[in-house]
Structure 1
Amino acid sequence: MSFLVELPLSEYNRNAFADFNKASGNFDPDVARAMMWMSQLAYETHVPQTITAVSGFWTLSNVKLLMQPAKSTLPVSDTRGVIAQRDGATIVAFAGTDPLILKNWVSDFYLGRPKGDVHQGFKDAAAAVWDDVRTALIAASGAGSPIFITGHSLGAALAVVTADRARSEPAIARPQVYLYGCPRVCRVDAAAAYNATLGPTTYRLVHGNDIVPTVPPPQLGFQHVGRYLACGPGAKFVASQLAPNSNSDEPLPTTGGFAGLTQQLENLVVGFSPSRRMDMIGRLSQLLLPGIGDHLPDRYYDALP
């Protein structure tokens, strides 16, 4: 995994779960902060000692690492994540995308017209760990444990696919889903079916000019799910600005054909993506194209008040 998404143990927020409320039934900024930090932790599956140490000061229990080879049309070799419990809640967090290959798979979304109701690359990647996730979700539901599914970037797409698959299992309770920098995952009909049941408790956060939520383009028949919340580059998310329903397909100009592509490309290359990380990696990341810099996980957890 790229150094751009790895984080030294000293940089982890020890208070990420300080105000976590497992009983919160609607969007909760404190839960959003905790879920984004869990999404960050999912990037560390190749450094188990970091996960062990962070789990200690977040008081996570029953921590299980997800690491399985993935046969996907996307340029990913495996699916990774973390399952854990906190205060009786069950959390499934998926790792996301290596920013150094991000431009490759963003480009892939413009090639051809993918088949199926859900992007096959995402389905294949999520399927690699489904057995372990399903077992955990059934156990949580049987115990009356609240369920949270989360992820950043590709991990957010895997969270959508997993939540969608789980809703067809009568033994699994409805989860809350927190998404950060999520691409479009479902075609229009599949998105409508998802939103009919999980839309109210799926929260889709987009920071600045993050390029990933603009793909695949709606001109290929894809549509976002969940309730949309955005903030500007380097700004903070404001809970009161959360969309009241799940019918938003932002961010992307809604003009016909590929007219919106010009604006997307401008957002990708024009401007500056500020970082609050003061180490060398944080400073270097500000040299990235803003559409990629705004996508990095540190931009998201810094944007959560």
Structure 2
Amino acid sequence: MFDWFLTYFELILGIAGAVSLIGIAMGFLRITLTRPSRSRWRVLGGIALLSLVCFLAVLRGGPGGKKTTPQELDPDRLIDTSLTAVERLQNPWEAYEDPRWPVVETLAEISDIAYDPPVFAAGRYEGLGLSRCFPLFDRSMVGYVLAIDDVAVVVFRGTDFNEWSDWGVNKAVRAAPTEHGGIHAGFDRAYDGLSPQINEVLDRLAPKHLWVTGHSLGGALATVCAYRLESRGEHKVTGLITFGQPMVAKLDLAEHLDDLFDNRYAWFVNGSDVVPKTPPGYEPAGSLVELNGTLRPGRWRRTRAVYSSSSVDDSLPAQPLQAHPLPPLTEEESRLLQQRLKAEPPPVFDDAPRAYSMAVPEIDNHLMPAYLGSIRQLLGISMRGD
């Protein structure tokens, strides 16, 4: 409650500070023209003090007044990573609790496998216990519906640098209208060709636990998919978890996604990955988990409270974080990044479209294997070969 009060108190101070600065400027001009009285000096001194407090409050908020809060994790908490992939997918979870959910590793592996050729991907999915695999294809868009018992996972492959149509999807940054606000037209249109296939499979499966996931472009498609399934009443989504996902929604739709999924949407950002800061003009949604290699991952939520401890207890103080978690790229920064990428043609792969390994640090952190490694580090899982 105190943090909520402090946030709004700082807003009031900011407004008062702006008025104060104007008052000081006007007062200074008046003082230079008239003899200053003792009472006037007292008033100006009080205004100057208020302005100083406002300035310090702005500094407290960090660059641009934006705040992020590290979430304290309990180092003694035991994370049960011995559960099978199917057991993880059946377990309940909360998007704003301690982010060390074992299911995240499973969904990261599923998203990584999606880059394999379908003939190999099906075998690897079966190795995770997901014995039913339904490939999804539409032009260069690729995805899968995976299932076993009462569980289903919809996963989308990220950008294939060898498919120029994938680049076309990423570059189509204009917004298309929906009943809840603007949506990225390229991502929305790319999902259209996969939607009938997904609904047909899910109608047959009628899963009790339905997860939607993906990396990069796949994460954007996953967000569109979950939004369509829920808002149209087609299927209830248990969890939407994405990795290195670009932003999909304009502000109105982003706020709607927060309400629609509430505690069921988390997006992971690895280090200095630049993709989640794009495209300019769009807004994030859901629970942000910034992977930074420590037991203090950054956490963000648009308007609701995030507990500052891994323990969920109503008596604990909560901090509402309302600023944008990651400063989005400007149009100029986005243009310069595209120039850097164009200057280094992506390598051609014989077996899988994993062309994210470039001499651009912001893109290297975007690699799905980098995400998988960071997630395993967060969970305390020793690295192993895949």
Specify the alignment match of 1:304 in structure 2.
Answer: 375
Which of 216, 236, 243 is matched with 2:300 structurally? 243
Specify the alignment match of 2:37 in structure 1.
Answer: none
2:286·2:301 contact (CA, 8 Å) conserved in 1?
no
Which of 37, 43, 59 is matched with 2:115 structurally? 43
Q: Structure 1 residue 189: deviation in Å?
A: 0.7
Specify the alignment match of 1:64 in structure 2.
Answer: 134
Q: Structure 1 residues 67 and 285 mapped into 2: Cα distance closer, same or farther (>3 Å)?
A: closer
Specify the alignment match of 1:213 in structure 2.
Answer: 276
Q: Structure 1 residue 106: deviation in Å?
A: 10
Q: Structure 1 residues 239 and 22 mapped into 2: Cα distance closer, same or farther (>3 Å)?
A: farther
Whether 2:197 is the aligned partner of 1:132: answer yes
Identify, as 1 or 2, the structure richer in helix: 2
What secondary structure is seen at the aligned counterpart in 2 of 1:60? coil
Which of 279, 288, 306 is matched with 1:228 structurally? 288
Q: Structure 1 residues 189 and 42 mapped into 2: Cα distance closer, same or farther (>3 Å)?
A: same
Alpha-carbon distance in structure 2 between the residues aligned to 1:82 and 1:180: 17
Q: Structure 1 residues 129 and 239 mapped into 2: Cα distance closer, same or farther (>3 Å)?
A: farther
Alpha-carbon distance in structure 2 between the residues aligned to 1:99 and 1:16: 33
Which amino acid in the other structure matches residue 191 of structure 2? A
2:187·2:221 contact (CA, 8 Å) conserved in 1?
yes
Whether 2:188 is the aligned partner of 1:123: answer yes
Specify the alignment match of 1:82 in structure 2.
Answer: 144
Q: How many residues align?
A: 253
Q: Structure 1 residues 157 and 139 mapped into 2: Cα distance closer, same or farther (>3 Å)?
A: same
Q: Structure 1 residue 198: deviation in Å?
A: 1.0
Specify the alignment match of 1:23 in structure 2.
Answer: 91
Alpha-carbon distance in structure 2 between the residues aligned to 1:39 and 1:150: 7
Matching of residues 253-268 of structure 1 within 5 Å? 258=330, 261=333
2:188·2:224 contact (CA, 8 Å) conserved in 1?
yes
Q: Structure 1 residues 160 and 249 mapped into 2: Cα distance closer, same or farther (>3 Å)?
A: farther
Q: Structure 1 residues 304 and 115 mapped into 2: Cα distance closer, same or farther (>3 Å)?
A: same
Larger radius of gyration: 2
Q: Structure 1 residue 241: deviation in Å?
A: 4.6
Alpha-carbon distance in structure 1 between the residues aligned to 2:264 and 2:228: 16
Q: Structure 1 residues 248 and 95 mapped into 2: Cα distance closer, same or farther (>3 Å)?
A: farther
1:97·1:153 contact (CA, 8 Å) conserved in 2?
yes
Q: Structure 1 residue 65: deviation in Å?
A: 0.6
Alpha-carbon distance in structure 2 between the residues aligned to 1:165 and 1:106: 18
Alpha-carbon distance in structure 2 between the residues aligned to 1:101 and 1:249: 32
Alpha-carbon distance in structure 2 between the residues aligned to 1:169 and 1:82: 21
Q: Structure 1 residue 225: deviation in Å?
A: 1.3
What secondary structure is seen at the aligned counterpart in 2 of 1:64? strand
Specify the alignment match of 1:12 in structure 2.
Answer: none
Q: Structure 1 residues 239 and 62 mapped into 2: Cα distance closer, same or farther (>3 Å)?
A: farther
2:280·2:331 contact (CA, 8 Å) conserved in 1?
no
Q: Structure 1 residue 25: deviation in Å?
A: 2.7
Matching of residues 137-216 of structure 1 within 5 Å? 137-140=202-205, 142-143=206-207, 145-216=208-279
Alpha-carbon distance in structure 1 between the residues aligned to 2:184 and 2:259: 19
1:153·1:180 contact (CA, 8 Å) conserved in 2?
yes
Alpha-carbon distance in structure 2 between the residues aligned to 1:251 and 1:101: 29
Q: Structure 1 residue 259: deviation in Å?
A: 9.1
Which amino acid in the other structure matches residue 137 of structure 1? L
Q: Structure 1 residues 61 and 245 mapped into 2: Cα distance closer, same or farther (>3 Å)?
A: farther
1:253·1:260 contact (CA, 8 Å) conserved in 2?
no
Alpha-carbon distance in structure 1 between the residues aligned to 2:106 and 2:203: 23
Alpha-carbon distance in structure 2 between the residues aligned to 1:212 and 1:199: 24
Which amino acid in the other structure matches residue 91 of structure 2? A
1:180·1:204 contact (CA, 8 Å) conserved in 2?
yes
Q: Structure 1 residue 210: deviation in Å?
A: 0.9
Which amino acid in the other structure matches residue 325 of structure 2? E
Q: Structure 1 residue 22: deviation in Å?
A: 1.4
What secondary structure is seen at the aligned counterpart in 1 of 2:159? coil
1:163·1:175 contact (CA, 8 Å) conserved in 2?
no
What secondary structure is seen at the aligned counterpart in 1 of 2:201? helix
Which stretch has the larger CA shift, 16-25 or 287-296? 16-25
2:211·2:237 contact (CA, 8 Å) conserved in 1?
no
Q: Structure 1 residue 193: deviation in Å?
A: 1.2
TM normalised by structure 1 equals 0.71
Specify the alignment match of 1:273 in structure 2.
Answer: none
* Percent identity of paired positions between Structure 1 and Structure 2: 21
Whether 2:105 is the aligned partner of 1:33: answer yes
